[in-house]
């Protein structure tokens, strides 16, 4: 562990020299400044664990300097020294931010106790600061992980819903025409109740879904999936990312969808057109007609 660094600020050079020797004997690195006007520059350049600050100096009042040091280096512990101590001054110094208050001439045992107590308190505060910073970093990582998991969960659910919807729509697109043909077949007349029941089952399964047979049968499975995403307000880039294909491939699908639905070269927006089909289908289903187009 590095030796604690102590800065002595006193306009009496003899005091500075004496204290430097004492701290050196205590295995601490000490420096001193006799001109208090240089303190601000010094603490900006070098971190000091403890600063011993005289109150009455010719250039600057130590009490004024105390607040400035607190702003520049809040984790440094400042111990006030003065030969003219009184209770009011001590209370003021502690209120401003001093760690301790010692009267000159300073007893070495009191000085040693004050400095080591300051170092112990500082270690706890710095460890607390490091812990808080680590917790903030971990919290940020957890939030980012949670956000990523939320996106993944939404994508999985979206894929599940899309796949489920596509399967149902494909089943309807393939089976409903067969049922209608079977209903027209005279040989299947005896099975008319069962066919009606089967149609009812399929209607129940596809309730709430777009059941426009023109769309379902005209488009390939991949194009139908892209069409559903467009209908759900997804952009080309979002669709590309979701399907792990290039945006250019999505644009190709969009062109093919427009062509197959007969809106190529028109001013119809694909999203609006698909929504209009969905809404029209819902109206017709509500009225009992399942084939509006």
Domain boundaries, the chain: 5-106, 163-287
Q: Is the pLDDT of residue 284 over 70?
A: no
Tokens standing for residue 238: 């979002």
Q: Is the pLDDT of residue 213 over 60?
A: no
In terms of CATH, what superfamily is 5-106? Response regulator (3.40.50.2300)
C-alpha distance from residue 277 to each of 212, 217, 235 (Å): 7, 14, 19
Phi-psi region for residue 262, left (φ > 0), alpha (ψ -120 to 50) or beta?
left
C-alpha distance from residue 276 to each of 38, 137, 259, 283 (Å): 77, 49, 17, 11
Computed over every residue of the chain, the mean pLDDT equals 83
**Average pLDDT, integer, range 242-267:** 87
**CA atoms of 95 and 87, how far apart (whole Å):** 12
Specify the pTM: 0.51
**Average pLDDT, integer, range 202-215:** 57
Q: Residue 288: what pLDDT?
A: 45
């Amino acid at each position: 562990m590095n030796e604690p660094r102590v800065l002595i600020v006193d306009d009496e050079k003899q005091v500075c020299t004496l204290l430097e020797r004492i701290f050196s004997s205590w295995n601490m690195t000490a420096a001193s400044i006799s001109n208090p006007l240089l303190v601000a520059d010094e603490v900006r350049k070098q971190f000091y664990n403890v600063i011993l600050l005289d109150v009455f100096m010719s250039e600057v009042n130590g009490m004024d300097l105390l607040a400035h040091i607190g702003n520049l280096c809040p984790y440094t512990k400042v111990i006030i020294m003065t030969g003219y101590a009184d209770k009011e001054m001590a209370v003021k110094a502690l209120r401003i931010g001093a760690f301790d208050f010692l009267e000159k001439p300073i007893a070495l045992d009191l000085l040693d106790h004050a400095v080591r107590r300051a170092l112990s308190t500082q270690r706890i505060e710095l460890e607390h600061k490091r812990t808080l910073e680590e917790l903030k970093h971990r919290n940020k990582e957890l939030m980012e992980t949670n956000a990523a998991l939320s996106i993944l969960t939404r994508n999985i659910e979206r894929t599940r819903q899309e796949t489920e919807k596509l399967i149902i729509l494909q089943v309807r697109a393939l089976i409903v025409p067969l049922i209608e043909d079977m209903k027209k077949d005279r040989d299947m007349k005896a099975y008319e109740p069962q066919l009606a029941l089967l149609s009812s089952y399929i209607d129940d399964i596809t309730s709430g879904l777009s059941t426009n047979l023109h769309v379902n049968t005209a488009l390939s499975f991949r194009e139908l999936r892209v069409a559903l995403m467009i209908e759900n307000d997804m952009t080309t880039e979002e669709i590309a990312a979701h399907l792990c294909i290039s945006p250019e491939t999505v644009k190709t699908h969009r062109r093919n969808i427009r062509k197959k639905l007969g809106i190529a070269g028109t001013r119809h927006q694909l999203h609006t057109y698909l929504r209009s089909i969905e809404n029209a289908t819902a109206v017709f289903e509500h009225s009992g007609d399942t084939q509006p187009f």
